[in-house]
């Protein structure tokens, strides 16, 4: 092991292209990050593709408004709008959208298919799903640019209209800076955007997506307000053999994963194939990695007391909301004593952000089970949940955006 005077190796980014680590073990990536990267790849390369987006759900459904399925011209797909029962039908619609260049909205009523007579699946979802199916074109580029810059962005798209002035697919991108950007397609009229401004603000704040109905002088318009947020980030501090499972499950759960190997470590991407980036950053430099603190989470698991303490000290200097620390409570008590002896005791605000021992109580004891426990807790924190069995949870499984009202 070297000391802090060593010059670290440069960081290695591993997410520049498409590789097996971009996907789950079965080749299926249904995360928002995967869909975003598929959209970006189509726009950057010019390869034809279509995207299907859930715009409205009535009753029970597997995915919520905003969920996407990107279908490439070669038939490969990324994302999911159902558990699989509609993917073939949606793929046909996607090919049609690529061929004719038109956006369309399709409604799938699964309430009539409890026994599998219609779609042959017998899933009993008891839901009605509306899908916007459209070609991937430059109208989506402003949103991708905002996500590249790690900024939340809202895409407002007409999904229903009896106005001759507004067609399905007309689109305006609404940036955090307040810009209204229309590219490649007609934008929505300012009067419509002004009418839904309060709904846009509320949905942006909550990170949810929903369809809003607007009454205009020219007729009724339904606008899908799609809130796109940058992928949450997971910083994993450590380089031992239990780190790769955490990186893999974190990536499959939709996090952008960066592994920080720390003192004496190297940026060896081969050791951490699921990580989007591997860095040998020293602990004092960890703060420089946090550029989206509200959605950045850290797990400290070097299994070295000094390294863990240095990492914890540096991370506490950032405003990130959660720091998971692997190890027994006694070990953390010793760290607290060391901080206090040096005149820097941890206050209540610090302690509220540290979770140790890290993870949910799943009873696992081998690396993959422990990693599942760790990533599950991080995901629960990100989603504002505490974990627990859904069977013991009252109410709907998914929190849904409050349906916006009609605007006259």
**So what's the pLDDT on residue 25?**
42
**So what's the pLDDT on residue 181?**
97
In the chain the first and final C-alpha atoms are separated, in Å, by 68
b/e burial code for range 14-27 (CB count within 10 A of at least 16 → b): bbeeeeebbbeeee
What is the spatial distance between Cα 173 and Cα 328, in angstroms, rounded to a whole number?
48
4-8, 120-124, 141-145, 287-291: lowest mean pLDDT where? 4-8
Which 3 state secondary structure label does DSSP give 264? coil
| Cross-strand bridge partners of residue 297 | 234, 322
What is the spatial distance between Cα 114 and Cα 232, in angstroms, rounded to a whole number?
36
Q: Where are the domains of the chain?
A: 32-136, 140-228, 231-388
**So what's the pLDDT on residue 3?**
37
Residues 6+ apart with CB under 8 A from 141: 43, 183, 184
Question: Tens digits of per-residue pLDDT, 156-206?
Answer: 999 999 988 999 999 999 999 999 999 999 999 999 999 999 999 999 999
**Torsions phi, psi of 100, nearest 5?**
-105, -5
Please, which pLDDT band fits residue 406 given cuts at 50, 70 and 90? low
The answer on pLDDT for 16 being more than 70 is no
**So what's the pLDDT on residue 19?**
33
Q: Which residue has the higher pLDDT, 300 or 15?
A: 300
**So what's the pLDDT on residue 288?**
81
DSSP output for 338-405: HHHHTT----HHHHTTEESS-S------SHHHHHHHHHHHHHHHHTT-----GGG--S-SS--PPPPP
**Half-sphere exposure (CA, 13 Å, Cβ side) for 83?**
11
Question: Tens digits of per-residue pLDDT, 36-85?
Answer: 999 999 999 999 999 999 999 987 777 889 999 999 988 889 998 887 77
Rounded to the nearest 10°, the torsion over CA 265, 271, 275, 280 is 10
**Half-sphere exposure (CA, 13 Å, Cβ side) for 259?**
34
The answer on pLDDT for 10 being more than 70 is no
Handedness of CA 386, 391, 395, 396 (dihedral sign): positive
pTM summary value = 0.83
Tokens matching residue 114: 């409890």
Tokens matching residue 234: 């997971």
Tokens matching residue 193: 């955007």
59-73, 136-150, 224-238, 391-405: lowest mean pLDDT where? 391-405
With tokens 């004891």, the residue in question is 365
Tokens matching residue 353: 């952000």
**So what's the pLDDT on residue 349?**
95
Burial of 110 (0-12, 13-18, 19+ CB in 10 A): buried
CB of 186 closer than 8 Å to CB of 193: no
CB of 302 closer than 8 Å to CB of 308: yes
* Mean pLDDT value across the chain: 86
Cα separations (Å) of 220 from 167, 213, 373, 386? 11, 7, 48, 41
The answer on pLDDT for 292 being more than 80 is yes
Cα separations (Å) of 345 from 311, 313, 317? 16, 11, 13
Cα separations (Å) of 81 from 7, 102, 251, 330? 47, 20, 19, 46
Domain 231-388 has CATH 3.40.50.720: yes
**So what's the pLDDT on residue 124?**
47
The answer on pLDDT for 113 being more than 60 is no
**Torsions phi, psi of 323, nearest 5?**
-130, 110
**So what's the pLDDT on residue 136?**
97
The answer on pLDDT for 235 being more than 90 is yes
Instruction: Please report how the helices 243-252 and 367-382 are oriented relative to each other, as an axis angle in degrees rounded to 10.
Output: 40
């Amino acid at each position: 092991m070297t000391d802090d005077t060593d010059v670290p190796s440069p960081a290695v980014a591993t997410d520049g292209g498409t590789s097996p680590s971009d996907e789950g073990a079965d080749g299926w990536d249904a995360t928002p990050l995967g869909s975003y990267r598929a959209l970006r790849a189509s726009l950057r390369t010019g390869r034809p593709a279509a995207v299907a987006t859930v715009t409205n759900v009535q009753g029970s459904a597997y995915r919520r408004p905003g969920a996407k399925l990107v279908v490439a011209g070669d038939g490969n797909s990324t994302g999911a709008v159902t558990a699989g029962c509609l993917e073939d039908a949606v793929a046909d619609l996607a090919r049609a959208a690529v061929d004719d260049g038109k956006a369309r909205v399709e409604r799938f009523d699964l309430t009539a298919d409890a026994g599998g007579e219609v779609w042959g699946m017998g899933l009993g979802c008891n839901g009605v799903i509306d899908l916007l199916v459209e070609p991937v074109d430059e109208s989506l580029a402003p949103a991708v640019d905002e996500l590249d810059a790690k900024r939340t962005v809202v895409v407002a798209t007409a999904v229903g209209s009896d106005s001759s002035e507004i067609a399905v697919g007309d689109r305006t991108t609404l940036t955090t800076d307040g810009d209204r950007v229309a590219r490649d397609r007609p934008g929505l009229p300012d009067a419509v955007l002004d009418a839904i401004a309060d709904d846009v603000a509320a949905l942006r704040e909550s990170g949810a997506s929903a369809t809003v109905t607007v009454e205009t002088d020219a007729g009724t318009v339904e606008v899908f307000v799609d809130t796109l947020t940058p992928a949450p980030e997971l910083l994993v501090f450590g380089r031992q053999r239990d780190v790769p499972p955490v990186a893999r499950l974190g990536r499959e759960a939709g996090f952008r994963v960066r592994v920080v190997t720390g003192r004496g470590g190297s940026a060896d991407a081969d050791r951490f194939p699921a990580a989007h980036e591997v860095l040998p950053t020293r602990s004092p430099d960890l703060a420089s990695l946090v550029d989206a603190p509200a959605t950045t989470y850290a797990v400290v698991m070097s299994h070295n007391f000094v390294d863990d303490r240095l990492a914890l000290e540096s991370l506490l200097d950032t405003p990130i909301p959660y720091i998971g620390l692997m190890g027994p409570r006694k070990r953390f008590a010793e760290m607290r004593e060391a901080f206090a002896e040096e005149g820097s005791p941890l206050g209540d605000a610090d302690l509220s952000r540290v979770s140790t021992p890290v993870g949910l109580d799943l009873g696992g004891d081998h690396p993959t089970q422990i990693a599942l426990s760790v990533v599950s807790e991080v995901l629960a924190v990100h989603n504002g949940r505490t974990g627990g069995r859904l069977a013991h949870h009252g109410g709907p499984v998914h929190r849904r955006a409050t349906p916006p009202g009609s605007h006259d």
